[in-house]
Homo-oligomer: A and B are copies of this chain.
């Protein structure tokens, strides 16, 4: 984990509920949704299985709560870190660094959200998560469109460009580890600097 502590409003910031989420995220990230049982979660928290049901209806609710919390935090960070920036290139980098900050501060939440959203069955939760993910990708597209309009970037396929950056960031969930050589933010920033060169207008044109 890192410095970020998820707050679980539905439990009124109840610390036991938060602990259940935190331990569950670690288990989901390590063993997958199917590979994690309520018994595993109870054992990790050090409580009886029945006590979990005071806070969550079932494993699916714990899982989708983690995914929503992670996406909420991601969206919040991305907005915060763009504040005050003018150039589209700086804003794209801030977007990527914010994404990386969330990976670094809470890898288990991020990994659960990045790799496990397909596991969400509940239709309302699925739709909400899809909206949040779409909104997140759309935010990056908006920055790139601003860059094109300002003449900072050339005319390009905005959807493709946003997806290339998000692919790099998301794929980090498969290989980046906190004890690796480079920080998540450093890698994210390097990716953006590399890819964004392809966004620049051709000086010959």
A residues neighboring B (CB under 8 Å): 32, 34-35, 156-157, 160-161, 163-164, 166-168, 170-172, 174, 187, 190-191, 194-198, 200, 203-204
Whether B164 and A191, one on each chain, are in contact in the complex, defined by CB atoms closer than 8 angstroms, is yes
Bound complex: CA A171 to CA B164 (Å): 9
Tell me the interface secondary structure of chain A in the complex.
helix
Bound complex: CA A160 to CA B192 (Å): 11
Q: List, in ascending order, chain B residues with CB within 8 A of A168's CB.
A: 163-164, 167-168
Whether A194 and B34, one on each chain, are in contact in the complex, defined by CB atoms closer than 8 angstroms, is no
Whether B161 and A171, one on each chain, are in contact in the complex, defined by CB atoms closer than 8 angstroms, is no
Nearest chain-B residue to A174 (Cβ)? Answer: B170
Bound complex: CA A166 to CA B172 (Å): 11
Whether B32 and A194, one on each chain, are in contact in the complex, defined by CB atoms closer than 8 angstroms, is no
Q: List, in ascending order, chain B residues with CB within 8 A of A164's CB.
A: 164, 168, 191, 194-195
